[in-house]
Each structure stands twice: as structure tokens, then as C-alpha cells.
Amino acid sequence: MAGGAAGERSADPRRGANHGRFKPCACRQVQHAGSDLEAARMFLTRFFGAGTTPNPCASCQDDDRLEFEVRMAFQPILDATTREVYAYEALVRGANGEGAAEVIAGVRPEQMYRFDQTCRVQAISTAARLGMGARLSINFNPNAVYEPATCIRLTLAAAKMSGFDTGRLIFEVTEAERVRDGSHLVKIFRDYQQRGFMTAIDDFGAGYAGLNLLAEFQPDLVKLDMALVRGIDQSAVRRTIVAGIVAICAGLRCRVLAEGVETQAEYRVLRTLGIELFQGYLFARPQLEALPVVDAALWEALEAG
């Protein structure tokens, strides 16, 4: 697939063939997993432990374990005003580096909760292992979250175990496909916001309810859908639409991020429209268990152009 972000769109777990709403996670016995290192360790062991170890969540007792390994690739999000990495987006990969679409195709509906939780833990633990100092953006599946406060525990435990500051976590969710229950997503977003996590709407402009969702919840970041970004230098219509979104987001104090940027011409137009955050093949492709950096010469070329 040619598109920088396009290849990653299926990183969202809901793009599996047959996703459904998941059974409630009711792991009351680990109420304090996020507050104590030993509890965090036990919590993670229970979740990932093999054999007869009981699962931490009532829902997981019926939940199949993943029969395959999940790894993470990272793609940088750049801040053009500082030329620094603003964040890295974690993108799911298979044991041998298989792409997101292939991995997700192997996830059965009843495994989606576990898959979503496993991806979060892998993203955080891998980021910590790589010494990531920037923010970490994690794709999550709102349809795999029953109750925000309960289903965040594994994430908190993973952060605690890895020594990863939860203040550097961004949770992004695509609205390119219909979220089954918009109020449910807003509830999750608000819970995450109250916990000090950053939030992002992914693929903005491609979905069913972009502006409606924005009316209900204003995230820290709005990630422009790549269909608006691609060829924007050749399209007055796209420039007008993006300029409008930038104005709306400025009024709502949301930062706009352009993803799927592939050419210098696209970058320059987007920069002229006031966008500061960028992601795409122009800067760096995702790398498996590595943190790609951007060549300083690229910034020079972009400014010189």
C-alpha cells in the first residue's frame, strides 16, 4: 500500500473481520493493581501467565488466550516548531514483523479484549525497553473496553512495571468506522482525560460522526485523515476543508496532526495552514521495536523549499 498511514489503518483492532462488544471485565480482586508494584507484577502474571493460572478478569475466563505473539513497531510524530519527536505511535506487528492487517485477521471476536489489552502492554513495555523519552500513542478499541476504570488496570500495571510515566501516554481511537456506542467512547475518553492521559481522535474526517464526536468531546489531538492530506498541494478543495478543521480545532484548543504525509509539497501546504504536528513516510516509516529518527537534512530541505 502506498500511503504512509494507509498501511497502518488496520492497526486498529476493530478492523478485524468480525468484532463485537465484549463481556464485562470484572476483576474486582485486583482493585489496587496500579498502586503497588507487587500487585502490578501479579496482575500482569495472571493475565499473561500460562496454564491454570486464573485470569484477572471474569470476562477473560471465557476469553481465549492469544496463540500468537504480538510485537510493536513505532512511527514518530514530529513537531515542526521544534523539529523534535512529539510522540511515537505504536503499531501492532506479528512475531515475524507481519503487518497489522495480517495480525488482526488472526484475532477471533472473543479474543478482542485480550488482544486490545495485550497490545497496550506490549506498546508500553517495548517503549520502556527502548528508552523512549517521548510520548507514546496507543491505539485502543473502545468496543473492547467494558468499564474504563476497570479495564485500564492492566495498562497501569504495565506502566508501573516498566517505569513508564503514564503522563506520557496518548490514547487514540479511530472514528473511521462506526463506534457502536458514541456515548461509551466519550465516557472512556473522559475517564482517560481525568487520569492525565492525552487523547486523540484518529482518521478525523473519514468517519461517520467526526464533528458530532468533537462536539461531545474535545481531545488533545485531532489526527487528520490521510485522504485529506494526500495531494493537498494539488487540491483547493482539500485546502479549504483542512483550513476549516484547523480553525475549528483552534477554537476548541485541540492540536491538529497531519498523518500520512508523503511529500514535501504536502508538508509545506499543511504547514502554511498552521499545522505543527506531522506523521508519515516523508519523515519516517514505522520500524519494528526501534525508534526511528528524522534526518536533520530533511528539515533543512523542507525549510529551503
Q: Stretches 48-56, 133-141, 191-199, 278-286: which one binds Ca ion (CB under 5 A)?
A: 133-141
By C-alpha distance, which of 219, 270, 262, 265 is closest to 246?
A: 270
Q: CB-wise, 139 or 150, nearer to Ca ion?
A: 139
**Cell representation of residue 135:** 510520548
CB of 103 to Ca ion, least distance (A): 15
- β 277-278/71-79 pair status: antiparallel
Q: Contact letters (x/-) for Ca ion, 48-77, by CB under 5 A? A: ------------------------------
CB of 217 to Ca ion, least distance (A): 17
Q: CB-wise, 139 or 199, nearer to Ca ion?
A: 139
Q: CB-wise, 27 or 173, nearer to Ca ion?
A: 173
Q: CB-wise, 25 or 224, nearer to Ca ion?
A: 224
Q: How many residues bind to Ca ion according to rule CB under 5 A?
A: 2
139 binds Ca ion (CB under 5 A): yes
CB of 148 to Ca ion, least distance (A): 19
10 binds Ca ion (CB under 5 A): no
Q: Contact letters (x/-) for Ca ion, 174-203, by CB under 5 A? A: ----------------------------x-
CB of 273 to Ca ion, least distance (A): 21
Q: CB-wise, 15 or 160, nearer to Ca ion?
A: 15
DSSP string covering 22-91? -PPP--GGGTTTTT-HHHHHHHHHHHH--TTPPPSSGGGGGSPPPSS--EEEEEEEEETTTTEEEEEEEE
CB of 96 to Ca ion, least distance (A): 22
Q: CB-wise, 175 or 202, nearer to Ca ion?
A: 202
CB of 55 to Ca ion, least distance (A): 28
Q: Could you tell me how many residues make up the chain?
A: 305
Q: Coil, helix or strand for 200?
A: strand
Number of H helices, E strands in the chain: 11, 9
Spatial contact of 213 and 185, defined as CB atoms under 8 Å apart? yes
CA-CA distances (angstroms) from residue 141 to 19, 138, 148, 260? 10, 10, 12, 21
CA dist., res. 73 & res. 89, Å (int): 8
Q: Stretches 15-23, 137-145, 146-154, 205-213: which one binds Ca ion (CB under 5 A)?
A: 137-145
Spatial contact of 14 and 177, defined as CB atoms under 8 Å apart? yes
Identify the burial level of 234 via C-beta atoms within 10 angstroms of its C-beta, where 0-12 means exposed, 13-18 middle and 19 or more buried. exposed
Q: CB-wise, 202 or 262, nearer to Ca ion?
A: 202
CB of 172 to Ca ion, least distance (A): 5
By C-alpha distance, which of 184, 185, 188, 224 is closest to 206?
A: 224
Q: Tell me which residue has cell 496518548.
A: 170
- β 221-224/135-139 pair status: unpaired
CB of 82 to Ca ion, least distance (A): 22
Residues 201-240 touching Ca ion, rule: CB under 5 A, are 202
**Which residue is nearest to Ca ion, using beta carbons?**
202
Which residue ranges make up the site for Ca ion (CB under 5 A)? 139, 202
